[in-house]
Structure 1
Amino acid sequence: MVRLTRPRVLMVVIAALLLAYAFAPAPVSPSGGGTGAASGPPTKAESGAVVPAGADGPALQLAAGLFPPAGRTFFGVMTEKGPYDFTAVDRFAAAAKRQPQVLLFGVGWESGTFDRVLFDRIKDRGMLPMLGWEPWDHHVDQAARKQEKLTVRQIDRLRSTQPRYRLSRIADGDFDSYLRSWAAGVKSLGYPVAIRFAHEMNGDWYPWCEKVNGNRPGDYVEAWRHVHDLFERAGATNVIWVWSPNARWSKTTANLAQLYPGDDYVDWVGTTGYYGTGAWSEYWSFDAIFGPTIAEIRTFSRRPLVVTETGASDVGGRKAEWIRETFRTLPKHREVIGLIWFEVDKELDWRIAGSPAASAAFADSVAAPRFDVRWSPDLLPRTDLEE
């Protein structure tokens, strides 16, 4: 993905504005954009508009805008059916009183062939597609969950043991034909797509975690770089690569720096965490859940950060409170450029649409100007933090 720093963007925009001052530009209509809320029509710099350089001069292509703009934070959603059925997305948007700008959906390697329709459906609704790309057979997980009397940890061990999907096999090229088919498909889209590859790699519940499945230290980074480089060689440079560990839940959690492929291989860093389950079954604030992980990531990466998966249950009756506190906290973290809500009733009800109080808390929070963001296919991802 092309790296755009803030100074470079400003230089291009200033130069273009000087030309626009000297020569009257033709009217411009905003492109793309779907139904996302915004404070007004995009500027020419935001829309990548073409401005005439004069009666006899060549047209000048202005720089594309960034997503999200500096000082703004996007919010997105993940639902059970994703782009296969937008019913839950529509309910979430109605509850939030705003259109989300990102839709995250998962695809497993065992049965997940590239399907352009899924990406175009998301794009046509004014949302950035984010693919949760999972190198495993998810049917093993489904079968384990159906077995009676198994504990959560026993289910984890069953689903994480899939020798076919060892990280070394990915790095050695055993899946290259499959990867090339996806790279060609993603390239053909012609607009940005985020790929969250092999998330929560610092745990032990997926076959791509280094602690399980016969994987060894260093295998994760090698596998990541292999997949990334194959896409680059195929010309699929429209990918926003998203690296997303689980939020640190104990002092024994894996050292994240050892699992990080490097800023040359990652565009957005991320993290996943929930209030109301597991280690955070009691009330934990956003900073208590995510703060240590964000601080650790900042020691080895300067990429913008996205909370790639979060939610809150109402087990303790404080779901709405947690939502309000979380959105009040986000502006304090200048590295956080986005948050994706897990809008699913799975084991616990994480949905905002399932609770009037949670809906009101979420809607009030994202009504703030900071979350007044739009996405369209002509916007480039912000991959550098402001200095």
Structure 2
Amino acid sequence: MSTRPSRLALPVVATALVGGCVVPSSGGPGAGEDAVTTSASAAPCLSLGDDLAPSTGVLAGVNLDWERDLLSEYAERLGERPAVAVSFARFPLQAQDEEHVTAAKDQVRDNGGMLLLTLEPHDGLATVTDEAVGALATLLDGYNEDGVPVVVRFAHEMNGSWYPWGQQPEAYREAFRRVADAVHREAPGSAMMWAPNYGGGYPFTGGAHAASPGSDAYQALDTSVDGTVDESDDPYAPYYPGDDAVDWVGMSLYHWGDAHPWGENEVPEESKFVDQLTGSYDGAAGDETAVPDFYAEYAQERGKPVGIPETAAFFRPGGGGADELTIKRAWWSQLVDPALHRDFPQLHMVNWFEWRKHEPEVDAVVDWRATGTPGVAQAYAEDLPEWYVHPGEGC
């Protein structure tokens, strides 16, 4: 969903998670007498690698509605501060975009954790110039110097047909690599995330930016080489920019309901999250087992940390069906299942989509939030296990 508001050496930014607390490295911002110190009750330190992934545990984050909410308010409702906060911006960044992202960065700095910055080139991939990416890298380096690590999710859901950067594999890979080169070179306290949309329903025909039959892009997407782009083709591989450019891999995974057309308040199936992550889903929404195993290919084979930059469960107020807590708890229970942590050790980030907004797919307001009501917020907080990392009060 779209919203507005290395190989990495980390000499001056957060490099360790202590009791869930992101703390600056020695000599960086916050070092000296003002540095965070270890408390007797804190959990053991969790070190961050060069890719900003923790060596163990899952970073618990949030997609916040920045125009209506504050990180501090969300933390008060949840009783925990999020380890990751997600912000969206058009790219190249204009003055207002930079102002909004910097305001989000300031909240992250004050509350602890890291920023996941989603960049959206709505004017097309041709706008991703050396000048634009150079300015971005300089900005990110400043954020890092201010003590805020940044994971850049560039042009997400590029395998979809709904964005101007969608279904253009060659141009997309080139643009991603241009951004990655600048970020890795000039902002070593930042990392790059490649994040397609879940492949169920691929190639998502009918979108305004679908690849046209006969075009070079269409031929590149025909991975089965049968002359047609359909569910038999790989929805991920043609868009992958390369191991050297990618630090994290991610995927948007939502529970919209049991079957299209969406709009009903329905409890998610027990194993839906894992089944979709691994390309083994065959349920109420249909047989989607032609989708590749994302985790096996990109986490196990390529060794990348996996993030779920956006997730939530559909609830339409006044829509009848199952109640809000039952639906949302059934979904987040899959995210906090000890078996998930055991069987998918490279899953290191999960960000809840904390929005109440009108969704054109159902022409109705959908409340995706986990802390929108006190009862749901309390249940969510109670169910989060200790291996979900939050910034703590001290180390």
| Fold agreement, TM-score > 0.5 | yes
Query: Which of 366, 378, 383 is the equivalent residue of 1:360?
Result: 378
Aligned equivalents of 1:98, 1:229: Cα separation in 2 = 35
- Quick check: 2:78–2:378 contact (8 Å CA) kept in 1? yes
Pairwise CA distance, 1:95: 3.5
Pairwise CA distance, 1:335: 1.7
Question: What runs of 5+ residues in structure 1 fail to find an aligned partner?
Answer: 5-27, 47-62, 137-163, 379-387
- Quick check: 2:312–2:331 contact (8 Å CA) kept in 1? no
Pairwise CA distance, 1:330: 3.2
- What SS is found at the alignment partner of 1:265? coil
Asked whether 1:180 is paired with 2:134, we answer yes
Asked whether 1:201 is paired with 2:158, we answer yes
Question: Hey, what does 1:150 align to over in structure 2?
Answer: none
1:93–1:289 Cα change, 3 Å: farther
Pairwise CA distance, 1:255: 2.6
Pairwise CA distance, 1:183: 1.4
1:249-285, Cα deviation, whole Å (9 max, x unpaired): 2362753111111221111110002112585755343
- Quick check: 2:87–2:104 contact (8 Å CA) kept in 1? no
Structure 1 runs of 4+ aligned residues shifted over 4 Å read 63-68, 277-282
1:157-199, Cα deviation, whole Å (9 max, x unpaired): xxxxxxx41x3x24xxx63322222211112232421111100
Query: Which of 297, 300, 315 is the equivalent residue of 1:299?
Result: 297
Pairwise CA distance, 1:227: 1.7
- What SS is found at the alignment partner of 2:297? coil
1:103-139, Cα deviation, whole Å (9 max, x unpaired): 0010112663434444233122102011111111xxx
Question: Hey, what does 2:329 align to over in structure 1?
Answer: 320
Query: Which of 329, 348, 366 is the equivalent residue of 1:337?
Result: 348
Aligned equivalents of 1:259, 1:271: Cα separation in 2 = 13
Aligned equivalents of 1:225, 1:126: Cα separation in 2 = 29
The one-letter code of the counterpart of 1:195 is V
Matches within 5 A, 1:27-46: 31=35, 40=42
Asked whether 1:75 is paired with 2:60, we answer yes
Aligned equivalents of 1:64, 1:262: Cα separation in 2 = 19
Could you say which structure has the larger radius of gyration?
Answer: 1
Question: Hey, what does 2:174 align to over in structure 1?
Answer: 222
Aligned equivalents of 1:290, 1:29: Cα separation in 2 = 45
- Quick check: 1:225–1:261 contact (8 Å CA) kept in 2? yes
CA RMSD of aligned residues (A): 3.4
Question: Hey, what does 2:211 align to over in structure 1?
Answer: none
Aligned equivalents of 2:189, 2:333: Cα separation in 1 = 34
The one-letter code of the counterpart of 1:306 is G
1:303–1:91 Cα change, 3 Å: same
Pairwise CA distance, 1:343: 0.2
- Quick check: 1:323–1:361 contact (8 Å CA) kept in 2? no
- What SS is found at the alignment partner of 2:246? coil
Asked whether 1:288 is paired with 2:275, we answer yes
Sequence identity, in percent? 26
Pairwise CA distance, 1:2: 2.7
- What SS is found at the alignment partner of 2:182? helix
Query: Which of 238, 241, 246 is the equivalent residue of 2:192?
Result: 241
- Quick check: 2:51–2:191 contact (8 Å CA) kept in 1? no
Higher helix proportion (structure 1 or 2): 1
Pairwise CA distance, 1:91: 4.2
Aligned equivalents of 1:182, 1:319: Cα separation in 2 = 37
- What SS is found at the alignment partner of 1:276? coil
The one-letter code of the counterpart of 2:85 is L
1:313-361, Cα deviation, whole Å (9 max, x unpaired): 2354322222223311531321211100100001310011224443233
- Quick check: 2:251–2:310 contact (8 Å CA) kept in 1? yes
1:257–1:78 Cα change, 3 Å: same
Question: Hey, what does 1:2 align to over in structure 2?
Answer: 7
Asked whether 1:311 is paired with 2:312, we answer yes
- Quick check: 2:52–2:191 contact (8 Å CA) kept in 1? no
Pairwise CA distance, 1:38: 11
Pairwise CA distance, 1:220: 1.2
- What SS is found at the alignment partner of 2:200? coil
1:178–1:279 Cα change, 3 Å: farther
- Quick check: 1:242–1:268 contact (8 Å CA) kept in 2? yes
TM-score (norm 2): 0.64
1:299–1:39 Cα change, 3 Å: farther
- What SS is found at the alignment partner of 1:298? helix
TM-score (norm 1): 0.66
Aligned equivalents of 2:92, 2:177: Cα separation in 1 = 21
Aligned equivalents of 1:32, 1:2: Cα separation in 2 = 26
1:326–1:236 Cα change, 3 Å: closer
Query: Which of 82, 107, 120 is the equivalent residue of 1:100?
Result: 82
- What SS is found at the alignment partner of 2:88? strand
Aligned equivalents of 2:292, 2:387: Cα separation in 1 = 20
1:184-225, Cα deviation, whole Å (9 max, x unpaired): 111223242111110011111111112xxxx4x422111111
1:255–1:249 Cα change, 3 Å: closer
Question: What runs of 5+ residues in structure 2 fail to find an aligned partner?
Answer: 1-5, 10-31, 203-230, 280-290, 317-321, 359-365
1:250–1:105 Cα change, 3 Å: same
1:356–1:188 Cα change, 3 Å: closer
